[in-house]
Chains A and B, each alone.
Chain A
Amino acid sequence: MEQNFLYNWFGDGVITYALLVTIPLVFLLIYALVAILGELKIASWVQDRLGPMRTGWKGVLQPLAEVIKLLQKEDIVPDAANKPLFNLAPYVMFTGAFGAFAAMPFAFNFVPAHLNVGLFYIFAIGAFSVIGIVMGGWASNNKYSLLGAMRGVSQMVSYEIPIALAILAIAALAGSLDLQEIINQQGGGFWNWNIFGGYGSFWKILVIPFTLSLFVIHFVGGLAETNRIPFDIPEGESEIVAGYHTEYSGMKFAMFFFAEYANMFTVSAIIAICFLGGWQSPFGDFLNQPAMQAFWFISKACFLVFVQIWLRWTLPRLRVDQLMYVSWKVMTPLAFVCFVAIAVWSMLR
């Protein structure tokens, strides 16, 4: 495995570690601003209107203006709230979202921490946001927040199961939990991506239906993990006001908001790694230099983020019991069937 290029440049020292933390954080901040602008602009595109037009050219500075607004806002903590938990919750939420970036492979020679259980790690640290939601919802001492937190926990825990099965199937297909290893196996053009059955002979055509459905299952589960429409039940603004973050204002609300966008990227990135070849170029070795690899990886993830935004402005919201139905009675059995099929395939090939 190729060394992280920062080690080659700066050695195994403090600078390297500082940069390993800073680069993903800076990336995440820039990405969040772009994604907020994208959300506004895609929404206005879907809805036949202009969207923000006054802050800068075509409103490109709108996210910055919103961040400044949120920074200036009064930070209200309700009297009856459990203050330590209330203050901690947004940061727990953000930790879950940002922690995943520790194992995120941007290119073959840049991954902040090369873990041999990277897939497992990202999946596990993603579950942190559940704790953030239940902390925020319970500590707010607000009935709407409590309902939102309850819904959030039940939803996210249920949807982790089909996602876990999808990830398990990918681990079986690749024979590894190492993200770099999984991506390496998908090299050599888009036909070798896991969504098309991974690397293999002509007969992998038999396994494509299963990988395709796993891709869909993982994506739908990802939508539920990030609490986006049609699964934004924990926030369901027309029912329970703003769900678990009803009582939050100012910067703490911004942290929840930021965590949501970071989560969107994390989920999309995992799907890109597991199914769309991660940083691999779709054209084999063509355009597959490290810088281009980062570009491919971010583009693939951002495309999936775009689809999430697109869906949000198109679909209505599901109800709690329907959500559970989709998870337990549709997606989980389907994911299980796909997992078994892929496991058999990877044993026989």
Chain B
Amino acid sequence: MTEKRIIDVDYSQVDTERMRINMGPQHPSTHGVLRLEVEVDGEIVTDVVPHIGYLHRCFEKACEKMSYPQVIPFIDRMDYIASMNNELPYVVGMEKLMGINVPDRIQLIRMAFAELNRIANHQLAVATFGLDAGAFTPFLYLFRDREMILNLFEKASGGRLLYNYFWIGGLMHDVPPTFKQECLNIISTVRKTNEEVMNLLIGNSIFIERTINVGILPADVAVNFGVSGPVLRGSGLNYDLRRSEPYLLYDKFDFDVVVGKGEMGTLGDCWDRNIVRMREMEESCKIIEQIIANFPDESSDVRALVPRRVKPPKGEIYSKAENPKGELGFYIVSDGTVNPYRMRARATSFVNLSVLPEISKGYMIADLIMILGSLDIVLGEIDR
């Protein structure tokens, strides 16, 4: 906290008052319909109260009235930036509950798509983070490349944002014939653009000055609040569900868990959280490369194991996976009928947002926006 500003003015001489500002729900940088009630002393933020619920769609209650496969499109709408990753824990959990063992090829496809979507999510996160800092150009560069990933998803699932692609026991369709080549194209483009963005934005001294020593999240606070994903790893904690509790085939693949090191400023500042996302893109590229190398050429029926009637036995399961934003978990209670008895989602963004008031006091309004951007929240997931 070396840079934390201490206001040393004798206010008894001056007639001042603190001002309450409503940031949002319609504000350019609240990343959706988030409302922040901010108390400011001049430019210094003294208090932040996030108000959520503008996008509440009764996800959990609505699921109780739906059959199990019908839940998947609803899950897509939670974190609409990374829908593939959202489907993963639910589908994997349901398969575990019903005792279905999907073949390796389908697992590889799921991994490839999850990693591609992770890249797309991180591209968007870095892009909007830059936009919050006022850099408009890297935003468009990253969006241009994200388009390639979305095009591949469109070819596979028919959707560009909401896929309903992972089904319980299989996939909706097989991958397009050009899958391998397109993945390789995406990887090379992503690497090229990331290098460019590193030079243009991340390495820019104005950007560094804006992000270092801002919104410092110490590791113990991060753990106490239960944050996960790049926000947690930015604080230096090596915790990634793909490594610590592997699902799919992640344990057979070689990749590093990226953690923040406090290279530029203090450990756990906005720069660290952002650089974790940048480097995770490279790790995802590495995973996809290995998947492409091991990918079986012959196609198979991806719907072979999809049950006609999803009716899991009585029981309950908590299934979690490493979403691009952190740990996304579904707690599913089955009473042996076609509808879930209870469905509970542990939304990553919701937990990650809860740390905002803790880490943004004492900084400036401009910093508050940067801190919010570095948390990379999606309101669809927070409000559900």
Task: Please give the residue numbers on chain A whose beta carbons come within 8 Å of chain B beta carbons, in ascending order.
Answer: 43, 46-49, 143-144, 147, 150-151, 229-230, 232-233, 236-241, 313-322
**Chain A nearest Cβ from B179, distance in angstroms:** 27
Contact of A48 among B140, B366, B369 (CB under 8 A): B140
Which residue in A48, A144, A240, A316 is a CB contact (below 8 Å) of B133? A316
A319 CA / B363 CA spacing, docked (Å): 11
Please name all residues of chain A whose beta carbon is closer than 8 Å to the beta carbon of B42 when the two chains form the complex.
150
Check A319/B364 contact, CB under 8 A, given A47-B140, A313-B137.
Answer: yes
Query: A314 vs B144: C-alpha distance in the bound complex, in angstroms?
Result: 17
In the A-B complex, list the 7 residue pairs whose CB atoms are closest, starting with the nearest.
A317-B134, A316-B133, A316-B135, A238-B29, A47-B140, A316-B134, A319-B366
Interface-facing stretch out of B48-56, B92-100, B110-118, B199-207: B199-207
With a cutoff of 8 Å between Cβ atoms, the chain A residues found around residue B369 in the complex are 238-239
A-B contact pairs, 13 of them (CB 8 A): A46-B137, A47-B140, A48-B144, A143-B19, A233-B366, A238-B131, A238-B133, A241-B27, A241-B28, A314-B137, A317-B133, A317-B134, A319-B209
Give CA–CA (A316, B201) in the complex, Å: 8
Q: Chain B, interface size: which category? A: 20 to 34
Complex partner residue of B132 from A49, A143, A238, CB under 8 angstroms: A238
Contact of B367 with A by CB under 8 A: yes
Give Cα distance in the complex from A320 to B364, angstroms.
8
- A205 CB, nearest partner CB in chain B, Å: 30
In the assembled complex, the CB of B19 is this many whole angstroms from the nearest CB of chain A, namely: 6
Pairwise interchain contact B209-A322, C-beta atoms closer than 8 A: yes
Q: Given the complex, which residues of A lie within 8 Å of B131, measured CB to CB?
A: 238
Q: Let me know if B155 is at the binding interface, CB within 8 A.
A: no
- Tell me the bound Cα distance from A317 to B210 in angstroms: 8
The answer to whether A237 touches B140 (Cβ under 8 A) is no
- Which of the residues B19, B27, B43, B204 comes within 8 Å of A316, measured between beta carbons? B204
Bound together, the chains give a CA A143 to CA B37 distance in angstroms of 13
1/0 per residue, CB under 8 A from A, across B211-249: the answer is: 000000000000000000000000000000000000000
For A240, give the chain B residue with the smallest CB separation: B365
Tell me the smallest distance from the CB of B54 to a CB of chain A, in Å: 18
Q: Cβ of A316 and Cβ of B367 under 8 Å apart?
A: no
Task: Choose among A47, A151, A232, A315 the residue that contacts B206 (Cβ–Cβ < 8 A).
Answer: A315
In the complex, chain A residues whose CB is within 8 Å of the CB of B5: 321
Q: Which of A147, A237, A314, A315 has the most CB of B within 10 A?
A: A315
Q: Chain A contacts of B132 at CB under 8 A?
A: 238
Other-chain contact of A238, B28, B200, B364 (Cβ < 8 Å): B28
Question: A319 contacts B141, CB within 8 Å?
Answer: no
A315 touching B135 in the complex, CB below 8 Å, given contacts A147-B365, A230-B206, A322-B209:
yes
CA distance in complex: A144, B24 (Å): 12
Is there an interface contact between B141 and A318, defined as CB atoms closer than 8 Å?
A: no
Distance in Å: Cβ of A212 to nearest Cβ of chain B: 21
Known: A143-B19, A232-B134. 10 other contacts (CB 8 A): A48-B141, A49-B140, A144-B21, A150-B42, A151-B43, A238-B133, A316-B133, A316-B201, A320-B364, A321-B5
Query: Which chain A positions have C-beta within 8 A of B28?
Result: 237-238, 241
Given contacts A48-B140, A143-B19, A238-B28, contact A314 B366 (CB under 8 A): no
B130 within 8 A of A: yes
- Assembly CA distance A46 to B137 (angstroms): 7
Please judge, given known A-B contacts A238-B29, A241-B27, whether A47 and B134 are in contact too, CB under 8 Å.
Answer: no
Contact residues, B26-61 vs A (CB, 8 A): 27-29, 40, 42-43
Given the known A-B contacts A48-B141, A236-B366, A239-B365, are A318 and B136 also in contact in the complex, defined by CB atoms under 8 Å?
A: no
A236 pairs with B364, CB closer than 8 A: no
When A320-B364, A320-B366 are in contact, do A143 and B21 touch as well, CB less than 8 Å?
Answer: yes
User: Do B29 and A239 have beta carbons less than 8 Å apart?
Assistant: yes
Q: Specify which chain B residues have a CB less than 8 angstroms from the CB of A143 in the assembled complex.
A: 19, 21
A242 to chain B, nearest CB (A): 9
What's the Cα separation between A315 and B206 when bound, in Å?
A: 8
Q: Which of A150, A239, A313 touches B366 (beta carbons < 8 Å)? A: A239
Chain A residues with Cβ below 8 Å from B40 are: 147
A259 → chain B, closest Cβ, in Å? 21
